[in-house]
Every structure is written in C-alpha cells, then in structure tokens.
Chain A
Amino acid sequence: MSGLAARVAAPDHRRDRQAEPFLRIEHVSHRFGGFVALDDVSLSIERGEFFALLGGSGSGKSTLLRILAGLLEPDAGRVVLDGQDMAGVPAHARPVNMMFQSYALFPHMSVAQNIGFGLRMEGAPKALIRERVAEMLALVRMEGLGERRPAALSGGQRARIALARALAKRPKLLLLDEPLSALDKNLREEMQFELQGIQDRTGTTFVIVTHDQEEAMTMATRLAVMERGRLVQVGTPGEVYEYPNSRFVAEFLGTANILEGVVESSGPDGARIGCADLGLAILYDAPAPKPAGSRVFVALRPERLAIARAAAEEPRVGENRLSGRVRDIAYFGDFFMYHVALEGGRTIRVSQPNLRRITGRPVDWEDAVVVSWDRQAAMVLPE
C-alpha cells in the first residue's frame, strides 16, 4: 500500500512522524444499549490538519465527534489532545469547540452575545469580549450584524455565526458536525471554500463530520471512512479515492463498478486477473495485493472507461475489454452516464464528459458497444 500511496502527494504535516501527534484517539469504543456505535477506533491527527470523518448514518462518526467534544464519555479507550489526557475532563473545561449541525445558536441572545458567550463564561473582561466579537464577525464577513437576533438571519448567515462562535475562544481543536448540510448546493460550495480559507488563516485543527463525500474530498487534508463503528480507511482524499482498500470504500467514495476475479499472475510489472464468467482478463499495472490463485474484487471507476460502438472485425471481449448493449443514458449536463448491459445480465456504468455541444450522440440507446480501459484504470482491492 505504501508504495502505491507514494505516487499520491503526501501532505507536509505527515513528514514529522516521530513527533507526538496533536490529537490521539486510542482504542475508543462506545455502545448505546446493544448498538455498537464505535468499535475500537484508533486515529492520530496532526496539528493544523483539516480532517474529515466520512460515513453514512449510524457509522459512528457523530458519536466520535461528541466524544472528542466531551459531550459523551467513551466506554473504553482514551483521547489525548496536545499531550493532555482528556479522560474525565468535562465538555466545559476542554479547549475544544464545536459547530453544531443545527448551529444551536441561542435564540434569546443577539449575534454578538452568541459569539461572546464562551468568553463570558470564562470571565473574560468586557473589552476583550467586544474586541474578539468584532474580530470574529470580520473573520466570517458578517460585520454590522452583531445586534441581530439569530431568527432574523438567513441559513448561510447562521452558519457563519455558528462558526464565529465556535472559534471565538481560539480552541485548539474545532469540531464541525455536518456544518453545511442545511444549506443549498451553491451556498454549500461557497461555504466550503470559506471554511478552508478560515482554517488556513487561523491555523486551527479542524475535524469535520460529514456524509457528503464531495465535501470531504474538497475540504479535507485527510479523511477517514467509517462504517459500522470502525475506521475502514484513513488517508488523503487522493489516496482513498485512487486506492480504496475495500469494496465498501470504492463504492462509498465516488462511483465504482465492482468485478470479481481470480489473480492469474502477479509480479513487479503488473498483474493479470481473470474473470471467467465474463470471458475477461483485467490487466493491472502493479502487483496484485493477494497471491496468484486468490479471489479478488476489482473496482473500475466509470470515468476511466471508454465506450465506443462495436466494430465487427474487433474482438468483443478480451484483455481490458467488455462488450454489451446500452440500456440507459443518464444526462447530468457536464457528463453522460451510460448503463451498459453485459452478456449474462450484469450492468456496468461508463461516464463520458460532455465536451462539446452535439446533437447526435456517437453512442446511443440500444447500441452494441465495447467498453475498454487501460492498465492504470483498474483498482484491485485488497479486501
């Protein structure tokens, strides 16, 4: 894995591997009644990272976030932040703040009182609170709205105030619980860039929980994919997207066609995986993660596949080629997604960018087509 990962640029903060990580999560488990929310999770996060916990509902990502905030005590394991064991430290005493999914702005307080609440609880002098509130309002570009009530703000404005409030105490660690899920698509994209900008400027370590893979991919320096209380893969967005370690990750992050095959040969120059039921051989440009003779899953991303009308003289099926018939074409505006039915009933998805405005499609409904790809396209999954 590490040899493959080296091809994807590793971020700077991972260079210093000797240093104690800024945030260390060790063997944390938690259950609600009979439901295992977190199952022996261990994770290290460096100072200044923008780390995303990505998973579906019930994957345990929010539970982990609440444990980091101190709102929940784990059943087992511990959390060490900046060298300090957080066991027994209640939420109100942690140098950690959270931006809540519902924003949880205090409806009976003005925007300025909301932002200053944390400092007020600390007993900070009034002058400092006023100064910090102004600074935070400027940071989230909301100057002049300090006297408003949260009810008088738009969704995007509320998100900004919630962020400003969570940053006002200059926490060591900022937790963001699905911070943008309530916003519409355009505003969400704008806020994604803004969050990144603010993280850059403040240098705060961010841990964000999201179910939106795009959000995690665009914002995070590293991400962890969670499933049923476990971390299934941790890496940079590039590593996880290009080298998913399981069928679940390949399908959760992006789209993937999963084929099953047997490793026929594997060496430093590449591997050959046979899929007997399709009459197909997949050529791969790296050694297979399992020895010859093992069964493996191969993931093929739709955007790495080429589709063309079948010509009579060409072989229909063979090395890195499949043939079938177009069953469906989904138009997304910026690309087309072809659903190609293979002989034997399986369907494979192929996407083609919508490069220029055309009236007639080169490949149309019910066409017999050949789907092909090159040696770098396939991903042989270790699990």
Chain B
Amino acid sequence: MSGGPGRALVLALPAAWMLLFFAAPFAIVLSIGFAEPAEGIPPFTPPWRVGEDGAIALRPNLANFALLLEDPFYAEAALRSLRVAAISATLCLLIGYPMALAIARAPEGWRNTLLMLVVLPFWTSFLLRVTAWIGLLQDQGWINGALLGVGLIEAPLTLLYTDLAMYLGITYCYLPFMVLPLYAALSKLDPALLDAASDLGARPWRAFLHVTLPLSLPGVVAGFLLVFIPAVGEFVIPELLGGPGAQLIGRVLWTEFFQNRDWPLASALAVVLLLVLVVPIAAFQSRAARDAPR
C-alpha cells in the first residue's frame, strides 16, 4: 500500500472524530473545571479575562481541584465506585467467560443465533430493562412471590434497594460487553492447539489453563475494561436499584451538576475521574503492546 490521498483520508477520519467528540469536549470541561462558580447562565465565570488591549489573561481557579483533594467525601465516593466497578466486571467475567466459550465451541450454525440472543436485550430500552428488575425484586415482586408461594420463606426478602440489587443490575446490563470481546478472542483460537495440548498429555482443565486462558487474555482485558470503565461512572442503575447508603461518583457528579449547580466543581471531578481511569489503562496498554512483539 502506498501513501496517497486515500491513506490520508483514512487517518484523518478517526483523527477528526477524536478531535470533535473527545478532545474538544474535554477541553471545554477542563476549562470549566478551572472556572469560578457564579450565579447566572451559565453558572460560572470563565477562567480568563479579556483585557482592554485585547490580550487574554488566564486566571485559573484552582479551588475546585483543591477541594476534591481536601474533602475525603470525593475520594471515598471514587474508591467506592472503583470497587463496585471492579466487582461488577469480575462478576461479568465469571459469567461471561463460560458463555463465550460455549458459544465459540457451539456448532457453527448455532453461533450467530446464540450471539444474537446475547445482544437481544439491547433491543429494548435500557431504562425499561432496569425498571423491570424493580418489578422482579420488590417486596411484592415476582421473586418474593415465587419464594413465598413455594414456602421457602415466610416474609418477603428485602432485595430491592440493596447492594445485591445494584450488582445484579450492573452485571445484567453490562454482560454483553464482556461476552462479545471474549467470544472474538476465543473463536479465533485454533482448535488444533487444544488437540496438540491434549495429545501432549494435558487433561482438559490443564489445556484450558495453559492454552485457552492465556490466549484469550486480550479478550479478557478488553471485556473487563468495557465493563469497568462505564460501570465506574454508572448513575442510573445504583440510583434505581441500589441502596441509599452507597454514594457513588456518578451520583456525586449528578448532584454537583444539577442540585448544587456547581459546574466548575463537577467539571473538575469529571476531569479527575477521567484521568484516574485513562492514565493507568493507557500505561497498561502500551506495556502490553511492548510485551507482545509481532
């Protein structure tokens, strides 16, 4: 392939996309993070002044970032969110891996149907699906009704508005994001490799441990990140299903933006959250790229 106008276009498209939908919004949010809150619309004064001679003088307000570091409330909420996201991603991995493996090893004619079934829930609204869990989990809900009907319990269990309900909801909603990259990695696996492992004396579980699992690691990492990253900032599911005690970072952000109308603080929080997520992941990715020379 020679470098020509076609090549330039192919490179320019994603670059333009990133600029338009990531870099520019990020720059706006970052600048608001350095602004000062004010009464009015928009509810802040920009962190620069245009002088009489037309010169622009930057006057960044560092108080927002300072507050995030000083008040342990924000760090706690962030840590709790990271923990919730990590547990949810792990649950998705534990459920999604066997699913992906089963689909990858299903007869060829079945695989597309099974993948379709995994993605099928996306055909209904996300909110509707989460709300449906309320109907299942509430005290007069289907689950309690069934358990009472069978006689396993005497009084309804408190399921809704608990951590359990929150994890159920997050795992349920994000499972497809885990299954799809895992399936992609597992279906690429040459079945002859497993034959070879077995031929060389590996029992099935050892063949899995030494061959299937290490070769599917890129899928595991991709799936984990695809669940973990959005789950950190997840707002709707904890709000609808979770208990009142869990102040997650998504909730905090929402409160700062819409209840306190403190856009600068909320923006600063969003920027910090992004850096906390992106920097370690980028470092990990570049290390992985270096370790796997092709």
**A residues touching B (Cβ–Cβ < 8 Å)?**
69-71, 90-93, 96-98, 100-102, 104-108, 117-118, 121-122, 151, 165-166, 169
Contacts and interface: CB of A to CB of B under 8 A. Distances in A.
B202 A92 contact: yes
A118 B200 contact: yes
B206 interface: yes
B200 A100 contact: no
Interface string B212-256: 001100000000000000000000000000000000000000000
Contacts of B211: 106
Interface string B182-215: 0000000010110111111111001000110011
Given A92-B200, A102-B190, A121-B201, 5 more contacts: A71-B195, A90-B198, A92-B199, A117-B197, A166-B199
B199 A121 contact: no
Interface string B22-52: 0000000000000000000000000000000
6 contacts: A69-B195, A70-B199, A92-B200, A105-B196, A106-B196, A169-B200
A163 to B, nearest CB: 13
A121 B196 contact: no
A316 to B, nearest CB: 58
Which of B192, B193, B201, B203 has the largest number of chain A CB atoms within 10 A? B201
B198 A97 contact: no
Nearest to A152: B293
Interface of B: 190, 192-193, 195-203, 206, 210-211, 214-215, 294
Contacts of B197: 106, 117, 121
Nearest to B203: A92
A174 to B, nearest CB: 11
A100 B215 contact: no
Contacts of A93: 201
Contacts of A96: 199
Contacts of A90: 198
A-B complex: 3 closest residue pairs judged by Cβ atoms: A118-B200, A104-B196, A121-B201
A150 to B, nearest CB: 11
B3 to A, nearest CB: 27
Contacts of B200: 92, 97, 117-118, 121, 165, 169
Which of A69, A92, A151 has the largest number of chain B CB atoms within 10 A? A92
A98 B199 CA distance: 7
Contacts of B214: 108
A92 B201 contact: yes
Contact of B192 (A104, A108, A121, A169): A104
Nearest to A72: B195
A69 B215 CA distance: 24
Nearest to A91: B198
Given A92-B201, A106-B211, A169-B201, A98 B196 contact: yes
B271 to A, nearest CB: 38
A314 to B, nearest CB: 61
Which of B192, B196, B215 has the largest number of chain A CB atoms within 10 A? B196
A104 B202 CA distance: 14
A121 B210 CA distance: 10
A71 B200 CA distance: 11
Contacts of B196: 98, 100, 104-106
B241 to A, nearest CB: 40
Contacts of A118: 200-201
